[in-house]
Amino acid sequence: MELIEICKNSKKASKDLAKLNSCEKNEILKACANTLLDNTQEIIKANKIDVENAKKNNIKESLIDRLLLDEKRIQAMANGILQIANLEDPLDEYIEMKVLPNGLKVGKKRVAMGVIGIIYEARPNVTSDAFAMCFKASSSVILKGGKEAINSNKAIVDLFRKTIKNLGYNENIVMLIEDTNRETTTKFMKMNNYVDLLIPRGGAGLIKAVIENSTIPVIETGVGNCHIFIDEFANKDKAIDIVLNAKVQRPSVCNAMETLLVHTNIAKEILPEICEKLIENNVEIRGDSTVCEICKNPKMATEDDWKEEFLDYILAIKCVDSIEDAILHIQTYSTGHSEAIITENYTNYNKFVDEIDSAAVYVNASTRFTDGEQFGLGAEIGISTQKLHARGPMGIKEITSYKYIVLGNGQIRN
């Protein structure tokens, strides 16, 4: 199908979707979860083609691992859909209803966004998650996945569409752009007459391309150069636990710490133990000159290291003379994702929380908690690092809009 036809059909389907109630939506979601379980072998067969092609093309082992589907992972996808079905319907809400002096009743009702486009890379589980979240939020979804996963994505989307059609609904509420060449993707980003919201999920390059080319409103997601600042008034045990957790527990994700800032007044007391434990956990340390004096064998950090989102067992460490210097460093290098202060001091904690302008600002906890499920949103379609519309983890409420409803009795304006 031509791109323009996909967009038109999706827009049309979004109007049918807007009429479905919660029960009907949840029935469809449950059927889609079941179809994944019932057709596990068919999905695995399609996925094998993708994995073999990836191997032929010498794609990195870690990427092949993300691409791979097995019974356990398909089960997890189905469970994810059921979990989303069990969430409260985000559209069942009226907000801020009030009566104006002239008797007009004015308020907002939460409504569907309409059509949501998702551009992502080679993780076929995103196909299933993104569909389920957009659908629960009553929006049609147009999926554009990476070419490496095209056979897996086709298999999954075909199963969803068949299931929806069999239940008597419009299957165009979920559509896949099968043409994976770059020109088509760029054209897709210009479809602002049909698509209401575009969410890129992937690396910095993908996100940059979407921001530069899209005429559709975009929510920027995911790039996280996250910082932890150990204040001079930090509790040493908490500091060590949190630093280790934020770096080592899962270094490949966007909420992992990339730079550690340490107040010079506490550096000698705390840094040797921290560095030792990091090294035990295979972390490569890149420190400034003070860090290099205090610790054994760190590499000297360069300017680039303060900017880098390593997503790996690498940590940049810098000593600062004051909380002001720590805040200034973060303001200079942060991508606005997640930053933490470790301190027992009331004034410093307040200063940090007030002056750090990131999606999530922590006191005495690991940055690894920045996540829709951890924050209690039930599920997550991405972590916004922009300030418009939604910031931080986005659940289903964050991909809805609202409209004003005005109930009168013949009022006219003077």
Residues forming the site for a second copy (CB under 8 A): 15, 18-19, 98, 100, 104, 106, 109, 111, 113-114, 192, 196-197, 211-212, 215, 217-219, 235, 237-238, 241-242, 244-246, 249, 331, 353-355, 357-366, 368-370, 374-376, 386-389, 391-393, 401-413
Amino acid letter for position 177? I
Q: Which of 61/183 has CB closer to a second copy? A: 183
Minimum distance between the CB of residue 91 and a second copy, rounded to whole angstroms? 11
Cα gap 273→261, rounded to integer Å: 15
Q: Which token pair is 352? A: 């940090």
Minimum distance between the CB of residue 112 and a second copy, rounded to whole angstroms? 8
Question: How many Cβ atoms sit within 10 Å of the Cβ of residue 29?
Answer: 23
Residues 6+ apart with CB under 8 A from 8: 194
Nearest-5° angle of CA 294, CA 271, CA 347? Answer: 120
Minimum distance between the CB of residue 159 and a second copy, rounded to whole angstroms? 30
CB-CB contact of 222 with 254 (8 Å) = yes
Minimum distance between the CB of residue 182 and a second copy, rounded to whole angstroms? 18
Give 16-39 as a DSSP string: HHTT--HHHHHHHHHHHHHHHHHT
Which residue has 């929380």 as its token pair? 353
Q: Which of 34/235 has CB closer to a second copy? A: 235
CB-CB contact of 109 with 405 (8 Å) = yes
Which residue has 């636990």 as its token pair? 241
What does the DSSP 8-state code read for residue 102?
T
Work out whether strand 115-120 and strand 197-201 pair parallel, antiparallel, or are unpaired.
parallel
Reference 241, options 89, 379, 365; nearest CA is: 365
Q: Which of 67/394 has CB closer to a second copy? A: 394
Q: Which of 48/307 has CB closer to a second copy? A: 307
* Overall size of the chain counted in residues: 414
Q: Which of 217/272 has CB closer to a second copy? A: 217
Minimum distance between the CB of residue 329 and a second copy, rounded to whole angstroms? 14
CB-CB contact of 219 with 385 (8 Å) = no
Minimum distance between the CB of residue 14 and a second copy, rounded to whole angstroms? 9
What does the DSSP 8-state code read for residue 163?
H
Minimum distance between the CB of residue 387 and a second copy, rounded to whole angstroms? 4
CA 222 from chain centre, in angstroms, equals: 5
Q: Which of 52/94 has CB closer to a second copy? A: 94
Q: Which of 124/200 has CB closer to a second copy? A: 200
Q: Which of 23/412 has CB closer to a second copy? A: 412
Work out whether strand 382-384 and strand 338-342 pair parallel, antiparallel, or are unpaired.
unpaired
CB-CB contact of 103 with 58 (8 Å) = no
Q: Which of 348/358 has CB closer to a second copy? A: 358
CA 286 from chain centre, in angstroms, equals: 28
Q: Which of 361/381 has CB closer to a second copy? A: 361
Strand order in the sheet with 284-287: 299-300, 284-287, 314-320, 257-263, 226-230, 338-342
Minimum distance between the CB of residue 263 and a second copy, rounded to whole angstroms? 18
